[in-house]
Amino acid sequence: MAPDMLVSLLWKAFLQTMYMVAAAGFIGSLIGLPIGIFLATSGKGELFPAPTVNKIVGATVNAARSTPFIILVVAIIPFTRLIAGTSIGTAAAIVPLTIATIPFVARLIETSIREVDKGLIEAARAMGATPFQIVTKVLLAEARPGIILGLTLTLVSLVGYSAMVGAVGGGGLGDLGIRYGYQRFMPEVMLAVVVVLIVVVQAIQSAGDMLARHFDKRTRKN
């Protein structure tokens, strides 16, 4: 393949991947964050005790997470059509990606919040904080480095998931690699796709690590 054609194909696929990852990551985190906070604070004897609802939400999250992504993509096609107006294309692919992101983010947020020292919750209660203030001023503030790393992991996973939405015409880097590299016997396209993906994942991870380090004041550093 001519180099300029390869570059143009790669660029288009790169933009599609970025679009899908960014949109699904953003919407998914927006919905996953409150669910994660709820999971971390609604157990028995916790800030907003609702143990039954907690168990139901937890079970739903587990169910969603154990469904293989490619099956999820196909299974929710009617829902995708309802939301996106079509079940094919990059925009439509964002729907299953978002659905897969929500439980993933929720669990990661929950874990980060649960790692916050219980003594801090007690101290805040002793100051007369409301449960809502404890969440915003203590839990989210203290869990911030963990949440950032969790969201980084989410984005990296999304880059991987986005390779599968070629099945519904989502396009993107993964799809390019399969169609050209594998089905049309063009190993150089496959190689180029893999290199770009490595760079993308590396960039996301480094940015996330840097941000998390910036907010992490738990250890002394000079």
Contact residues for another protein, defined by CB under 8 A: 117, 119-120, 122-130, 133, 137-138, 141-142, 144, 215, 217-220
* Distances, alpha carbon 134 to alpha carbons 53, 111, 205, in Å: 21, 17, 30
Q: From CA 100, how far away is CA 94, in angstroms rounded?
A: 10
Q: How far apart are CB 215 and another protein at their closest, in Å?
A: 7
CB 72 within 8 A of CB 96: yes
Nearer to another protein, 78 or 128 (CB): 128
CB 140 within 8 A of CB 109: no
CB 168 within 8 A of CB 88: yes
Q: How far apart are CB 123 and another protein at their closest, in Å?
A: 4
**At 89, is the secondary structure helix, strand, or coil?**
coil
Nearer to another protein, 127 or 203 (CB): 127
Q: How far apart are CB 138 and another protein at their closest, in Å?
A: 7
Nearer to another protein, 6 or 120 (CB): 120
Q: How far apart are CB 131 and another protein at their closest, in Å?
A: 9
Q: Mind giving me the DSSP string for 8-22?
A: HHHHHHHHHHHHHHH
Q: From CA 86, how far away is CA 214, in angstroms rounded?
A: 42
Q: What is the DSSP letter of 136?
A: I
Nearer to another protein, 114 or 125 (CB): 125
Q: Counting Cβ atoms within 10 Å, is residue 81 exposed (0-12), middle (13-18) or buried (19+)?
A: middle
Nearer to another protein, 53 or 127 (CB): 127
Q: How far apart are CB 128 and another protein at their closest, in Å?
A: 4
Q: How far apart are CB 36 and another protein at their closest, in Å?
A: 18
Nearer to another protein, 3 or 128 (CB): 128
Q: Which residues contact 130 (CB under 8 A, 6 or more apart)?
A: none
